[in-house]
Amino acid sequence: QSALTQPPSVSGSPGQSVTISCTGTSSDVGDYDYVSWYQQHPGKAPKLMIYDVNKRASEVPDRFSGSKSGNTASLTISGLQADDEADYYCCSYAGNYHVGFGGGTRLTIL
């Protein structure tokens, strides 16, 4: 069982926007700003997209943005492109030097 809850799948058409939610608790997402997001294409290693809730990793386009409200973090992807089709994982520090991942969300471009 994953520490953080993500929707199994989301979809959108090219040019549209989608938001992926990541729900934790007051002991992880709600208590720390160490929330990050990772993109994983099939057969590839994950890639850091967002860290510290809303900071973009280097060379990540500004179409990707992160936010947090209470115990829920969100990743928004605007201007969807075909290459955005991938699995996305959220991650949060959970105290006591422990880290938890969400179960992952499959983004499908229609």
Partner 1 sequence: VQLVESGGGVVQPGRSLRLSCAGSGFTFSTYGMYWVRQAPGQGLEWVALISDDGNDKYYADSVRGRFTISRDNSKNTLHLQMDRLSTEDTALYYCAKDMGRFRFVFHYWGPGTLVTVSS
Residues forming the site for partner 1 (CB under 8 A): 2, 34, 36, 38, 40, 45-48, 51-52, 57, 89, 91, 93, 96-104
Least Å distance, CB 89 to partner 1, is: 5
Integer Cα distance of 23 and 58 in angstroms: 26
CA distance 55 to 63: 12
Nearest approach, Cβ of residue 34 and partner 1 (Å): 4
Name the residue nearer to partner 1 (CB basis): 7 or 78. Answer: 7
Strand order in the sheet with 18-23: 18-23, 72-77, 64-69
Minimum gap (Å) between residue 61 Cβ and partner 1: 18
